[in-house]
Amino acid sequence: MNCEEARNLMMKHFDGELSDIEFTRLCRHTEMCEKCGAEFGALKEILGLMEESGTIDPPENFEESVMKKIHQWEALVKKRREMLVTILYSVFAVGIVLMSLLISYVSQNETLRALMDNMQALSGAVRSVINFSAKWYVFMSGIAHALIQTFITFAKTSFSVFALVTGILLLSYGLISRQNGKKEEGVG
């Protein structure tokens, strides 16, 4: 049994859900594992103290008090929500009135109508620039991704070639060293 299993069994023990076999396994582990033994002992002590102190009863009107506060909170939230909806409807209505007045005024005034037409044309140009920028971003992202992938592939290949050359050099060095060692033995 590992320590994590032992902790799970400790919790089951304190919840009263531990079988006799599991309790025996837990006891064996806590006897062998100093850390788990100390933890199990501390938990027993804490829970024992809690049982000795008994239960604490809430004040007499506790439930009524809590429910009253919940209802007050719900009423406050409802009132704020209604106020927010009223404000939004008011702003929307004012916006519609102002828009109607502006449209009426613009339709009567040629200069303003020309200005509105120019603003619409400018708006179309801005949309075109934004669309182009988005496409340019996607295009450049694709190029950057391709470059990064190429670099990674190159780095992997270069490392493989480097490792292969290093291995060949080390192997060659080992063979040369052995031959030199054999020549020295033959000379001596």
User: Which residue range is the domain that position 45 belongs to?
Assistant: 3-56
Decide if 106 contacts 113 (C-beta within 8 A).
yes
Whole-number pLDDT of residue 52:
73
Q: Which residues of the chain have pLDDT under 50?
A: none
Domain contains 143: no
pLDDT at residue 107, rounded to an integer: 66
Look at residue 106 in the predicted model and tell me its pLDDT.
Answer: 62
Residue 28 lies in a domain: yes
Q: Is residue 62 part of a domain?
A: no
Per the domain annotation, does 126 fall within a domain? no
pLDDT of residue 66: 86
Asked whether residue 169 is assigned to any structural domain, the reply reads: no
| 33 found inside a domain | yes
Would you call 25 exposed, middle or buried from its count of C-beta atoms within 10 A (0-12, 13-18, 19+)? middle
Domain contains 49: yes
* The pLDDT value given to residue 158: 66
Overall domain count for the chain: 1
pLDDT in tens, 156-179: 666 666 666 676 777 776 666 666
In a domain, 160, yes or no: no
